[in-house]
Structure 1
Amino acid sequence: MGIVASAITEFYVNEYARLKRIVSRILVRPDAADDVIQDTFLKLSDHDLKISDRGLLVRAAQNVARDYNRLEKTRTSLFDKVHDSQIIGEPVSPEKSLMMSDQLQSLFRAIHSMPHRRAQIFLLAKLDEMPYARIAEELGVSLSTVEKEMAAAMAFCHKWQQEHDFP
């Protein structure tokens, strides 16, 4: 892990609990706080964050939380207006389906190339939507370990996405 990545990871771990409290108060769905915090760090991952940037981090997290609320409100209102007959989408061409399947397989191979515990924590959090505290309990590790592993996994996935032009 590079110097910048380890600095971001350290910043993530040090500020996670405080940011979670802040964004949980803003969010309509406080259970989305982990995702909002991760999105905030992903958005700021190209910046060289320092401890003195706490204000920037808090403001960015607040903005991401407000954006999330707006998006959630839009989704809810649109969903309420959708009829069952409108849910059926366009058929996907076999070529596009194969391409999407190949990309997904490539992504899973990349995830499984991470250290085992990191990949396991990432999949439990993202696919099973398991809260960090429960992951820590299930795996017999500290909450801090889960947070550090998730930060490293998110940085890995972000880098992989950029390298592979993955949407």
Structure 2
Amino acid sequence: MIHENTDIERLFKRYYQPMYRVAKGILYDQDESKDVVSDVFAKVFEEGIILLPETEEGYLIRAVRNHCLNIIAHKDIRERTSKLLLNDAETILSEHDETLLDHLMLLIEHLEPPIRRQILRLRHVQGLPFQRIADDLGVSRVTVYHHLSEAINIIKRQLNQARQ
């Protein structure tokens, strides 16, 4: 079990550079890569994870890789949703039509299932991150993204129909 500073220092000196290279190769960002490596070492230390000499390198490299992939997945979800919302917001705001805005509010109120309406509000009214919404509702981030994406598509379709 790693509890002594000498053990964590040994791991740090031996594996920091390979772990950093893996993170940088995935993220292409020096600072974020350093943060990932630090997070992995912090987790090992704080949770007292037992690393056997023959598996410690593999564990640390996999932990860095998985952490990087989680970061990328989170960014991807956030960026896709932002693009969808920006496009919709530009359409709505360019209209300057109060009737359309009233219709938008009504559409949001009638979104089904109720979790879809709740996710839309948590994300865009309260500004909560995907992971927090997922944790609060007991669902996955993918489920949060799916409901948010569906809500936006439903609202977009119905607004387009209302304009015709």
TM-score by length of 2: 0.44
Greater relative contact order (CA < 8 Å, ≥ 6 in sequence): 1
Bigger CA radius of gyration: 2
TM-score by length of 1: 0.43
